[in-house]
Amino acid sequence: MTKGTQYVARQADAQGFIAYPDDEHQIWSELYARQAVNLPGRACQQYLDGLDALDLPKDRIPQLPELDKVLMAATGWKTAAVPALISFGRFFELLASKQFPVATFIRSREEFDYLQEPDIFHEIFGHCPLLTNPSFANFSEMYGKLGLAASKEERVYLARLYWFTVEFGLLQHKDDELRIYGGGILSSPGETMYALGDVPQRKPFELMDVLRTPYRIDIMQPIYYVIEHIDFLDEIARMDIMQSITRARQLGLFAPLFEPKAKAV
């Protein structure tokens, strides 16, 4: 989580409606149009099904109550409007209660291609479609409950699990093809093309390996972990994740596959 942000989330009225200015609706429209063309043949079918179910507007930022009607009917989830940054404790608390945090701001034009904070486009376009899928939804709820009970040190390892599944996960498709289910990829045109290309490493999901793999948030990922199918998230949820974290802490991390981040001068 970043230490500070220039963004301020917009507040909803009593009906949950947020009055976004026209220029922010335009940014949403351009982000949507730019990424929608990259999804066929790359996004997993469960994500595409969820995108169809949500029927997101292409010309304006969606209102959260609109999404909640679909999510509640599909999996019992709903969104929760949050500030640009929330604590890890609050994040886990929301997931454990089947509420997906959505920061109600959208990126500026100056950060159109990349920003570190998860904005409303990343959260809604990247993640909410798969919350219509029972396996993804159940995994997210389980993850929240684990995080609530975990120590600060254990949460660092839990973060790697989330990173390599919910944010940057790939899954196996027929005929040895791969598809994307991670929202960090699905909301990024550059990473969508890169993740399925020739540069990064891709390995079958092994819980211990995932927990021991360092990552950086500000680069294209050098490695992705591949699950067999979206229902495999149910199998991960049944694993003894906390015991694996104990073992991973004893073994230590793998050597990073990236250069250390340059320090500000």
Binding site members for Fe cation: 122, 127, 167
> So which residues are the catalytic ones?
122, 127, 167, 187
By C-alpha distance, which of 127, 130, 162, 155 is closest to 237?
A: 162
CA distance 167 to 183: 5
CA distance 178 to 180: 7
User: Which residues are registered as beta bridge partners of 180?
Assistant: 43, 170
CA distance 155 to 177: 33
Residue with tokens 């995108």: 51
Please report, to the nearest 10 degrees, the dihedral formed by the alpha carbons of residues 55, 186, 126, 18 taken in order.
-70
Instruction: Check residue 112 and report its DSSP letter.
Output: S
Residue with tokens 């229902």: 231
Specify binding-site residues: 122, 127, 167
Helices 88-96, 134-149: inter-axial angle, 10-degree rounding: 130
